[in-house]
Amino acid sequence: MTDDCRKVVKKVFVGNLRPDETVDAAQEAGLLRNLDHPGIVRFYDSFIDAEFFCIVTEFCDVSLLILVLSFEKVGRYLIIVDTI
C-alpha cells in the first residue's frame, strides 16, 4: 500500500468458521485484488487478526457514494436515477 489515499478496514468475525471456509474467504479476497474498475471500491489487502478476517479497501465518502449511485451513465451523459 504505497499510495496516500484514505483506507478502511472491514473486520469480519470468522472465529466459528471451519478452516475450509476461511480458505474460501482468502481466495475471494485474492479475486477482489485483481478487480480494477472505477465503479468498484479498490481492494488493497486482507489478513487474519485473531478471530477476524480483515479486508483493507479504499475509503468511500458517503456523500460521494450517494452521488455516484444516484446517476446513471447513458452514452456520454449522466442522468438522474430516481431509485437507489
82 closest CA partner among 74, 71, 73:
71
What are the phi and psi torsion angles at 45 (to 5°)? -165, 165
For 34-53, what is the HEC assignment? CCCCCCCCCEEEEEEECCEE
Q: Which pLDDT band, with edges at 50, 70 and 90, does 82 fall under?
A: low
Spell out the domain ranges in the chain. Answer: 7-80
pLDDT score, position 84: 46
pLDDT digits (tens, 9 = 90+) for 19-64: 777 777 778 888 888 888 877 888 899 888 888 888 898 887 777 6
Q: Is the pLDDT of residue 67 over 70?
A: no
pLDDT score, position 56: 92
The span from the CA of 26 to the CA of 15, in Å, is 14
Superfamily of domain 7-80: Phosphorylase Kinase; domain 1 (3.30.200.20)
44 closest CA partner among 72, 10, 17, 14:
10
- CA 84, 43, 31, 50 torsion-angle sign: negative
